[in-house]
Amino acid sequence: MRIPFSFSDDSLTLFMNGGVHTIPNTDTAFEQVKEHLKGSDHDVDFLTDLMDKPAFITKTTSGRVEVKGNNVFFEGEVVHNAMTNKLLSMLSEGFDVAPWISFMENLMDNPSYNSRTCLYNFLDHFKTPVTEDGYFIAFKRVRDNYRDVHTGTMDNSPGKVVSMPRSQVDDNPNNTCSSGLHACADEYLKGFATGSTYRTVAVKINPRDVVAVPADYSFSKMRVCEYTVLGDVSDAQVDKIRESDYVDFDEYGWDQYVDDQGDVWYTE
């Protein structure tokens, strides 16, 4: 069947499902819809999935995540935090929200309510890059030989997956310095282990592996039970990552360590 439509350089307008649907050229679906409409046989279900993003989110997550008006629901419970605010903002502007949906699903798989709440505090205060598979990027200061600052025994070389039993990580956010694997936001780097004998690495963390985010230092550091070391970053690169819409792993040489992890970070 053919669907009536009109188009300009700025937008597409379709007449389908008993209504009028306008897609601005800033919408990630704009080019796909435009190409589909060039054909003689238009698939209403395909176009509906592209344009009705809330419905598509519900469909692709098997109903785990739903967007209704200005609310985001996870398994029927409304979720209010920086993550959902970001998702709604991106959705309204036509951006691809798949990474943030994956992030939400990973976060809600975290077995601890307190740990999830702690990570919300981190998200509320810092711009957090999110990967295609729903992990997030943080930073870590290590010795020049990639060993950890405190004990000098833990290897944080690029490509290493560092882990410890979750039960051995202190889950009390009131304890400032305690047992666990440590990672931080860029802000924390300014006052910790500075000097030529240290280096900074970027680490990739699954939200479900976050255990505690202490309130001191404005929620800028955390304790986790596992992370993957992506590679070195300079101070200038840390600033660039914070300010970018996306970062290509190839640009930093990290593809050689994590070439199966995807190559784009989605940020605020």
- Tell me what pLDDT residue 268 has: 43
- Band (267; pLDDT cuts 50, 70, 90): low
From the CB of residue 21, how many other CB atoms can be counted at a distance below 10 Å? 17
Burial of 99 (0-12, 13-18, 19+ CB in 10 A): buried
CA-to-CA dists, residue 200 to 133, 142, 208, angstroms:
23, 6, 24
Is pLDDT larger for residue 77 or for residue 86? 77
**Alpha helices for the chain (secondary structure H):** 30-37, 44-51, 53-60, 82-92, 98-108, 113-125, 186-189, 235-243, 249-252
55-82 mean pLDDT? 79
Give the pair of three-digit tokens for residue 258. 């994590």
- Band (120; pLDDT cuts 50, 70, 90): confident
Q: What's the chain's average pLDDT?
A: 83
- Tell me what pLDDT residue 217 has: 79
62-91 mean pLDDT? 77
- Band (259; pLDDT cuts 50, 70, 90): low
Whether residue 64 has pLDDT greater than 50: yes
What length does the chain have?
Answer: 268
- Band (266; pLDDT cuts 50, 70, 90): low
219-227 mean pLDDT? 94
Burial of 214 (0-12, 13-18, 19+ CB in 10 A): buried
Phi, psi (rounded to 5 degrees) for 187: -60, -40
- Band (47; pLDDT cuts 50, 70, 90): confident
Q: Which residues of 51-88 are buried (b: 16+ CB within 10 A; e: fewer)?
A: bebbebbbeebeebbbbeeeebbbeeeebebbbbebbb
The rounded distance, in Å, linking the Cα atoms of 193 and 191 is 7
Among 47-56, 62-71, 258-267, the minimum mean pLDDT is found in 258-267
The rounded distance, in Å, linking the Cα atoms of 188 and 81 is 22
Highest average pLDDT, of 17-21, 206-210, 243-247, comes from: 206-210
Kindly state the greatest CA–CA separation across the chain. Answer: 68
240-266 mean pLDDT? 68
Q: Please provide the distance, in angstroms rounded to a whole number, between the alpha carbons at the two ends of the chain.
A: 40
Is pLDDT larger for residue 220 or for residue 193? 220
Give the strand pairing for 11-16 and 5-7.
antiparallel
Phi, psi (rounded to 5 degrees) for 40: -95, -15
